[in-house]
Amino acid sequence: MLWIMGSPGSGKSALLTTIVQNLSTQAQTIPDSPRLSYCFCSANRPGSCSAASALKSPICLLLLEQLSLNLHLTSLRDPTEIEHFDHLSNFLALSGLFYDIARDSDLSKTYLVIGAIDECVKEGSGAHSGFEEFP
């Protein structure tokens, strides 16, 4: 795990963006290199600062890159009839889906990047939206 810490405005997101771009280029050009799945939270983008959205984006990228993993989504969606898993309360379903994908032997080695979680701090609480409820 690489945890990049720093004060607001110190360039953490810019550094992470460069890392993601380089890892993405590597994944596309070097055979057998690890895949990349990522999410950048943003206080300016409604809905992107929740634990559910921090899982949803990387899951979507994993499923687009590795089609054999879609069976996990199908097995979750069929009985629940939920199409998009957009609500914060869908975190438990998404975390179960992520866990199933992570345990799948077909999953290629993948770097997971979650950026800008510090932008999701609730005013005055010091807690991250959705993250404090699901330790």
The single residue listed with the structure tokens 């990387």 is: 58
Instruction: Name the pLDDT band for 124 (thresholds 50, 70, 90).
Output: very low
Domain regions of the chain by residue span = 52-135
The first and second tokens of residue 81, run together, are 């009839």
- Residue 97 in this model has a pLDDT that exceeds 50: yes
* Residue (of 61, 33, 64, 39) closest to 51 by Cα position: 39
**Can you give the pTM of this predicted structure?**
0.72
- Residue 89 in this model has a pLDDT that exceeds 70: no
Tell me what pLDDT residue 47 has: 67
- Residue 100 in this model has a pLDDT that exceeds 80: yes
Q: Are 33 and 107 in contact (CB under 8 A)?
A: no
* Residue (of 104, 82, 105) closest to 94 by Cα position: 82
Tell me what pLDDT residue 50 has: 73
More confidently predicted of 49 and 9: 9
More confidently predicted of 28 and 118: 28
- Residue 79 in this model has a pLDDT that exceeds 90: no
pLDDT per residue over 26-59, tens digit each? Answer: 988 998 888 888 888 777 776 667 777 788 888 9
- Residue 114 backbone phi and psi in degrees, to 5: -120, 120
